[in-house]
Amino acid sequence: MDIQSCVNIQTEWDIVAARQLGRNVAKELGFGVVDQARITTAISELARNIFIYAHKGRVCIEKMNDKGHAGLRIIAIDSGPGINDIRLAMEDGYSTSGGLGAGLPGVKRLMDEFQIVSSPGKGTEITAIKWIR
Amino acid sequence: MNSLIINYIDNHKEHILNLWVEKMKEKADDRVLRVVSNQVFVGTSREFVEMVTSNLNDENEEYSERLRDFAEKVVKLGWPISFVTEGIQVFSTIVYDGIKDEKLINEEDEMKLFYGLHKWTNPMTNEIVNVYSTTWERTVSLQKIALQELSAPLIPVFDGISVMPLIGAIDTERAKQIMENLLNGVVKHRSEVVLIDITGVPVVDTMVAHHIIQAADAVRLVGAQCMLVGIRPEIAQTIVSLGINLNQVTTKNTLKKGMEAALEIMKKKMIQVGEISEDSNSKII
Amino acid sequence: MRIPILKLYNCLLVSIQWELDDQTALQFQEDLLHKIHETNANGVVIDLTSIDFIDSFIAKVLGDVINMSKLMGAKVVITGIQPAVAITLIELGISLNDVLTSLDLEKGLEKLKQELGE
């Protein structure tokens, strides 16, 4: 019984919309204050990556229930340039945009599960899950 | 077929019991025999065999209740689940062999007998496994809660100074809990200096050190500072030989020294009021 | 929407009261530097009590503005970072080293005075 809602990312304002959606869903599911901040921050990082690198894409938030264990799944999809070297992109401090380079490895640390699929020229799909403790 | 089995068991109860106890004693490992006396073993075995038999007579409801009670008793005795399920198998083998040896059935019916026994013991095994796993799940969840309650409290000692004693091993889950308690406590009590006492932490490896450094960083972000106290010689040795850099964190070997340093930071001082002597009645209130 | 910057003696006070979007954050960076230039302030307190999350972009803008202020001769103290925000920042890998912090506005002003040697 997964319920999904999505936000299309095209402008900077959509980043705000995406993280507000995420925060509301996290609150609804009963995540604590710290986990809410973790989820909101992760969504913000992923949405901003789409905005900066792919210019447009989509962030979806899904409620999950696995054997009575509730969680929240973030799916960030774009059809942008893709990531050439995923291992490099997952390294702390690596950035091609002049940012802090904390984005992807940071999201991985903030969430419980993290998966990235990317092919150069085709796009990127990132899935991240947080379970309720 | 059922009545044949019941009759056989009823008529040979003692014989089956003895045989069963004998066989199970061979199988029982030290674990079982060490925890229960011979008397208890035989007593429980009797109960077990009786219970197994009663399955054929009793009403379903009454039986499942007895089965649950029995399973819980066995769990308390510390019988391993493999031993109990094996017991059921052994029991049915004894009955099967017994009936066959006494030639109570002809060869064609052997299959039927086998199937009848199977149909009878299967739900029993299921129920016992069920009770075992429920008991275990309950234990695990209780222990989880107990462990969470064990998580460190932040104790305000003076205005602006708090202490957090850490006891026991620290894993990632617990480290997160500790970090939350620490930061919420610091903000709630408006502590400017917080002393983390690791006297009770048995091992400080890279992971634990990493969590401590993270905690110290986070404490700095909310606007306070962190001091690590209770560093025993062996902890200092592991920290250095693992190449962990704790330079960003102030460290002291005892809580007492840490407290002195904290008071200094807060520009506070402890002074002794009056002389402590037997003939003077002056007391500090 | 612009973030108000208040002047108090030789200090500037900023209290960020709502979620920062990228534009507001960048606008704030610009406004603060202009205000420092205008008022010759030598200290700034930025209070983040009402902020419930900071991502790497906002952290970078904040870190940048602190360094820029330093270049212009003004010390910056950040106050009221919430526990949840501190934890997410650390997990993101952002520790804002060398940034002065305090528990609240009051302690922030005290720290600033101390740092400025008053």
Mean pLDDT of B152-164: 91
Find the angle CA(A4)-CA(A61)-CA(A130) to the nearest 5 degrees. 120
- The residue among B222, B247, B249, B267 with the most chain C CBs within 10 A of its CB, best to mutate, is B222
The answer to whether residue B102 neighbours chain A at the CB level (below 8 Å) is no
CB B202 within 8 A of CB B170: no
Mean pLDDT of A107-131: 91
Q: CB count, 10 Å around CB of B249?
A: 19
Q: What is the DSSP string of chain B?
A: -HHHHHHHHHHTHHHHHHHHHHHHHHH--HHHHHHS-HHHHHHHHHHHHHHHHHHHHS-HHHHHHHHHHHHHHHHHHT--HHHHHHHHHHHHHHHHHHHHHTT-S-GGGHHHHHHHHHHHHHHHHHHHHHHHHHHHHHHHHHHHHHHHHHSPPPEEEETTEEEEEEES---HHHHHHHHHHHHHHHHHHT-SEEEEEEEE-S---HHHHHHHHHHHHHHHHHT-EEEEE---HHHHHHHHHTT---TTSEEESSHHHHHHHHHHHTT------S---TT------
Mean pLDDT of A71-96: 84
- Tell me: do B52 and B173 sit in the same domain: no
Quick one: what percent of chain A has pLDDT higher than 70? 93
The answer to whether residue C96 neighbours chain B at the CB level (below 8 Å) is yes
Residues C2-11 have pLDDT tens digits of: 889 999 889 9
C5-116 folds as Transcription Regulator spoIIAA (3.30.750)
Question: Which residues of chain A have a CB within 8 Å of the CB of B178?
Answer: none
Residue B232: inside a domain: yes
What pLDDT is stored for residue B285 in this prediction? 46
Residues C18-62 have pLDDT tens digits of: 888 888 999 999 999 999 999 999 999 999 999 988 988 899 999
- Max mean pLDDT range (A14-28, B122-136, B137-151): A14-28
Go through the domains of chain A in sequence order and give each one's CATH number: 3-131 (3.30.565.10)
Residue B35 pLDDT grade (very low, low, confident, very high; cuts 50, 70, 90) = low
The answer to whether residue B42 neighbours chain C at the CB level (below 8 Å) is no
Whether A106 and C92 lie within 8 Å, measured CB to CB: yes
- Tell me: do B184 and B54 sit in the same domain: no
- Tell me: do B7 and B143 sit in the same domain: yes
The domain tally of chain B equals: 2
For the cut 80, the answer to whether the pLDDT of residue A58 exceeds it is yes
What ipTM was estimated for this complex? 0.87
For the cut 60, the answer to whether the pLDDT of residue B58 exceeds it is no
* Closest Cβ–Cβ partner in B180, B223, B224 for C87: B180
Residue B285: inside a domain: no
Q: Which of residues 49-88 of A touch C (CB under 8 A)?
A: none
Question: Which residues of chain C have a CB within 8 Å of the CB of B186?
Answer: 83, 103
Residue B28 pLDDT grade (very low, low, confident, very high; cuts 50, 70, 90) = low
Domain locations along chain C = 5-116
Helix (H) or strand (E) holding A90: none
The answer to whether residue B65 neighbours chain A at the CB level (below 8 Å) is no
The answer to whether residue C64 neighbours chain A at the CB level (below 8 Å) is no
Residue B282: inside a domain: no
Whole-angstrom distance, CA of residue C93 vs CA of residue B60: 61
What pLDDT is stored for residue A102 in this prediction? 63
State the smallest CA–CA distance between residue A2 and chain C in angstroms. Answer: 26
Higher model confidence: residue C106 or residue B32? C106
The answer to whether residue A69 neighbours chain B at the CB level (below 8 Å) is no
Residue B279: inside a domain: no
- Tell me: do B139 and B199 sit in the same domain: no
- Tell me: do B13 and B115 sit in the same domain: yes
Residues B123-136 have pLDDT tens digits of: 778 878 888 888 88
- Tell me: do B73 and B163 sit in the same domain: no
CB C103 within 8 A of CB C45: no
- Tell me: do B100 and B178 sit in the same domain: no
Higher model confidence: residue A70 or residue B112? A70
- Tell me: do B48 and B184 sit in the same domain: no
Helix (H) or strand (E) holding C73: none
- Tell me: do B75 and B24 sit in the same domain: yes
Residue B150 pLDDT grade (very low, low, confident, very high; cuts 50, 70, 90) = low
What pLDDT is stored for residue B205 in this prediction? 84
Residue B21: inside a domain: yes
- Tell me: do B98 and B117 sit in the same domain: yes
Mean pLDDT of B29-50: 68
For the cut 50, the answer to whether the pLDDT of residue B230 exceeds it is yes
Domain ranges, residue B161? 155-265
- Tell me: do B242 and B142 sit in the same domain: no
Whether C57 and A48 lie within 8 Å, measured CB to CB: yes
What pLDDT is stored for residue A2 in this prediction? 60
For the cut 80, the answer to whether the pLDDT of residue A86 exceeds it is yes
Residue B270: inside a domain: no
* Closest Cβ–Cβ partner in A15, A33, A110 for C92: A110
Q: CB count, 10 Å around CB of B280?
A: 9
Distances A99 to A51, A77, B96 between C-alpha atoms, Å: 13, 21, 76
Q: Which subunits have 3 or more CB–CB pairs within 8 Å of chain C?
A: A, B
Q: Which CATH number goes with the domain that contains B135?
A: 1.10.490.10
- Max mean pLDDT range (B88-92, B95-99, B169-173, C43-47): C43-47
Whether C21 and A12 lie within 8 Å, measured CB to CB: yes
Whether C94 and A103 lie within 8 Å, measured CB to CB: no
Residue B276: inside a domain: no
Quick one: what percent of chain B has pLDDT higher than 70? 86
Whether A103 and C56 lie within 8 Å, measured CB to CB: yes
Question: Which residues of chain B have a CB within 8 Å of the CB of C81?
Answer: 221-223
For the cut 60, the answer to whether the pLDDT of residue B282 exceeds it is no
Residue B284: inside a domain: no
The residue type found at B229 is: V
The answer to whether residue A34 neighbours chain B at the CB level (below 8 Å) is yes
Residue B88 pLDDT grade (very low, low, confident, very high; cuts 50, 70, 90) = confident
- Tell me: do B69 and B178 sit in the same domain: no
What pLDDT is stored for residue B220 in this prediction? 94
Whether B223 and C95 lie within 8 Å, measured CB to CB: no
State the smallest CA–CA distance between residue A56 and chain B in angstroms. Answer: 34
φ/ψ of A102, rounded to 5, equals -100, -10
